[in-house]
A = this chain, B = another copy of it.
Protein backbone atom coordinates (compact mmCIF):
# COMPACT_ATOMS: atom_id res chain seq x y z
CA UNK A 1 0.00 0.00 0.00
CA UNK A 2 2.97 2.30 -0.46
CA UNK A 3 1.62 3.52 -3.81
CA UNK A 4 -0.88 6.34 -4.07
CA UNK A 5 -4.04 4.49 -5.13
CA UNK A 6 -7.40 5.61 -3.61
CA UNK A 7 -8.20 4.12 -0.21
CA UNK A 8 -10.19 0.90 0.23
CA UNK A 9 -12.31 2.53 2.94
CA UNK A 10 -15.08 5.14 2.67
CA UNK A 11 -15.06 8.40 4.69
CA UNK A 12 -18.67 9.62 4.84
CA UNK A 13 -19.78 13.25 5.09
CA UNK A 14 -22.80 15.22 6.29
CA UNK A 15 -23.99 18.71 5.35
CA UNK A 16 -22.19 21.61 7.05
CA UNK A 17 -24.96 23.78 8.55
CA UNK A 18 -22.58 26.75 8.98
CA UNK A 19 -20.85 26.68 5.58
CA UNK A 20 -21.37 30.47 5.31
CA UNK A 21 -18.43 30.99 7.67
CA UNK A 22 -14.90 29.69 8.21
CA UNK A 23 -14.52 27.67 11.38
CA UNK A 24 -12.03 25.06 12.49
CA UNK A 25 -12.69 21.41 13.41
CA UNK A 26 -9.84 19.64 15.24
CA UNK A 27 -10.01 15.85 15.53
CA UNK A 28 -7.49 13.82 17.51
CA UNK A 29 -7.27 10.01 17.33
CA UNK A 30 -4.75 8.67 19.88
CA UNK A 31 -5.47 5.02 19.02
CA UNK A 32 -4.07 4.65 15.50
CA UNK A 33 -2.12 1.51 14.61
CA UNK A 34 -0.68 0.13 11.38
CA UNK A 35 2.24 -2.21 10.51
CA UNK A 36 5.86 -1.42 9.66
CA UNK A 37 6.41 -2.66 6.07
CA UNK A 38 10.06 -3.42 6.82
CA UNK A 39 9.85 -5.40 10.06
CA UNK A 40 6.20 -6.54 10.07
CA UNK A 41 5.94 -5.14 13.61
CA UNK A 42 2.93 -3.00 14.64
CA UNK A 43 3.36 0.79 14.74
CA UNK A 44 1.32 3.09 16.98
CA UNK A 45 0.51 6.77 16.50
CA UNK A 46 -1.73 9.66 17.40
CA UNK A 47 -3.33 11.20 14.29
CA UNK A 48 -4.43 14.87 14.51
CA UNK A 49 -6.64 16.28 11.74
CA UNK A 50 -7.50 20.01 11.69
CA UNK A 51 -9.70 21.34 8.88
CA UNK A 52 -11.96 24.22 7.88
CA UNK A 53 -15.03 22.58 6.31
CA UNK A 54 -16.68 23.72 3.12
CA UNK A 55 -20.15 22.35 2.29
CA UNK A 56 -19.56 19.06 4.13
CA UNK A 57 -18.17 17.93 7.43
CA UNK A 58 -16.78 14.46 8.02
CA UNK A 59 -18.99 11.96 9.85
CA UNK A 60 -16.87 10.76 12.81
CA UNK A 61 -17.92 7.12 12.98
CA UNK A 62 -17.01 6.51 9.34
CA UNK A 63 -13.69 8.28 9.94
CA UNK A 64 -13.00 5.90 12.82
CA UNK A 65 -13.75 2.88 10.63
CA UNK A 66 -11.60 4.31 7.82
CA UNK A 67 -8.64 4.69 10.21
CA UNK A 68 -9.19 1.20 11.66
CA UNK A 69 -8.76 -0.04 8.07
CA UNK A 70 -4.98 0.54 8.45
CA UNK A 71 -4.74 -1.97 11.34
CA UNK A 72 -3.23 -4.72 9.18
CA UNK A 73 -1.69 -2.53 6.46
CA UNK A 74 2.07 -2.24 6.00
CA UNK A 75 2.87 1.43 5.34
CA UNK A 76 5.61 3.94 6.26
CA UNK A 77 5.03 6.90 8.62
CA UNK A 78 5.50 9.49 5.88
CA UNK A 79 3.18 7.71 3.45
CA UNK A 80 0.30 7.04 5.82
CA UNK A 81 0.16 10.68 6.93
CA UNK A 82 0.06 11.93 3.35
CA UNK A 83 -2.44 9.27 2.32
CA UNK A 84 -4.84 10.31 5.10
CA UNK A 85 -4.76 13.96 4.03
CA UNK A 86 -5.44 12.94 0.41
CA UNK A 87 -8.34 10.62 1.30
CA UNK A 88 -9.80 13.21 3.68
CA UNK A 89 -9.64 15.94 1.03
CA UNK A 90 -11.28 13.67 -1.56
CA UNK A 91 -14.09 12.87 0.90
CA UNK A 92 -15.10 16.31 2.22
CA UNK A 93 -13.24 18.89 0.11
CA UNK A 94 -12.28 21.16 3.05
CA UNK A 95 -11.23 24.80 2.59
CA UNK A 96 -7.92 23.88 4.22
CA UNK A 97 -6.54 21.01 6.25
CA UNK A 98 -3.48 19.75 8.08
CA UNK A 99 -2.77 16.21 9.27
CA UNK A 100 -0.14 15.33 11.88
CA UNK A 101 0.99 11.78 12.67
CA UNK A 102 2.89 11.39 15.97
CA UNK A 103 4.48 7.92 15.98
CA UNK A 104 5.70 6.07 19.08
CA UNK A 105 9.43 5.63 19.76
CA UNK A 106 11.22 3.00 17.68
CA UNK A 107 14.90 2.30 18.32
CA UNK A 108 15.21 5.41 20.50
CA UNK A 109 13.79 7.67 17.75
CA UNK A 110 10.45 9.53 17.76
CA UNK A 111 8.98 10.64 14.43
CA UNK A 112 6.28 13.21 13.69
CA UNK A 113 5.02 13.86 10.14
CA UNK A 114 3.05 17.04 9.33
CA UNK A 115 1.31 17.61 6.01
CA UNK A 116 -0.95 20.57 5.15
CA UNK A 117 -3.05 21.82 2.24
CA UNK A 118 -3.10 24.12 0.42
Contacts and interface: CB of A to CB of B under 8 A. Distances in A.
Contacts of A18: 78-79, 82, 115
Contact of A21 (B27, B106, B108, B115): B115
B31 A44 contact: yes
Interface of A: 2-4, 16-18, 21, 23-31, 33, 41-42, 44, 53, 57, 60-61, 63-64, 68, 71, 78-79, 81-82, 104-117
A14 to B, nearest CB: 9
Q: Which 9 pairs, one residue from A and one from B, show the smallest C-beta to C-beta distance? A: A23-B115, A26-B112, A24-B114, A28-B110, A31-B108, A18-B82, A31-B44, A105-B105, A29-B109
Given A23-B116, A106-B60, A110-B28, A17 B78 contact: yes
